[in-house]
Amino acid sequence: MRKALFLDRDGVINIDHGYVSHIEDFEFVDGILDFIKEAQARGYLLVIVTNQSGIGRGYYTSEDFERLTAWMLEKMRQAGITIDREHVFHCPHDPDEGCDCRKPMPGMLIEAAKRFKIDLKNSWMIGDKPSDIEAGKRAGVGHTYLTEKNRKLEVDIIE
């Protein structure tokens, strides 16, 4: 069992311009790469959990999302962060579909916990919306932190 850092994407990792789906619109939030690198050094498994209803709404495609994700992960690798595609969970559904993966539902976190044997109690969920925090709590994540959208993270992950 290992502890994980669950991160929302839009508004936490990148500036949330609304339905960010192309590389030219993807801007890392100030300081986030250093933060993630530090968390990894402290033994946290990195897991991204992101609602991508823009796919279900038809605003962009799964291919757009995959292309952007590959680019983002490569940028992270260049910054010294190890995170694979399998550590990125996304909900592609329209809210009307009533799926169990769209946050505040905990589906993505529970799936990740099962797959990677995550110690949820000692894990963190960081998001910029109450629905992120709610998803973390419903999944049983021990620590949650609501950050200000698009702003540098001011939380210190201890342990």
Give me the catalytic one of 8, 16, 128, 132: 8
Span 18-77, contacts to Mg ion by CB under 5 A: none
Distance of alpha carbon 36 from alpha carbon 22, whole angstroms: 22
Q: Which of 8, 52, 106, 139 binds Mg ion (CB under 5 A)?
A: 8
Question: Applying CB under 5 A, does 93 fall inside the site for Zn ion?
Answer: yes
Question: Which residues are registered as beta bridge partners of 28?
Answer: 14
Residue 128's binding partner out of Mg ion, Zn ion, none, with CB under 5 to 8 Å set by partner kind:
Mg ion
- Cβ proximity of 150 and 12 under 8 Å: no
Residue 10's binding partner out of Mg ion, Zn ion, none, with CB under 5 to 8 Å set by partner kind:
Mg ion
Span 75-134, contacts to Mg ion by CB under 5 A: 128
Distance of alpha carbon 153 from alpha carbon 35, whole angstroms: 8
Residue carrying structure tokens 């539902």:
105
Question: Applying CB under 5 A, does 11 fall inside the site for Mg ion?
Answer: yes
- Tokens for 75? 């940028």
- Tokens for 143? 């620590």
Greatest alpha-carbon pair distance for the chain in Å reads 42
Supply φ then ψ for residue 134, to 5 degrees.
-60, -45
Query: Would residue 132 show up in a list of annotated catalytic residues for this protein?
Result: no
- Tokens for 69? 């994700």
Give me the catalytic one of 10, 16, 128, 132: 10
Quick one: 94 or 119, whose CB is closer to Mg ion? 94
* Per-residue x/- track, 94-133, Zn ion (CB under 5 A): -----x-xx-------------------------------
Query: Would residue 84 show up in a list of annotated catalytic residues for this protein?
Result: no
Nearest to 49 by CA among 117, 133, 122, 147: 133
Q: Which residue ranges make up the site for Mg ion (CB under 5 A)?
A: 8, 10-11, 128
Binding site for Zn ion (CB under 5 A): 91, 93, 99, 101-102
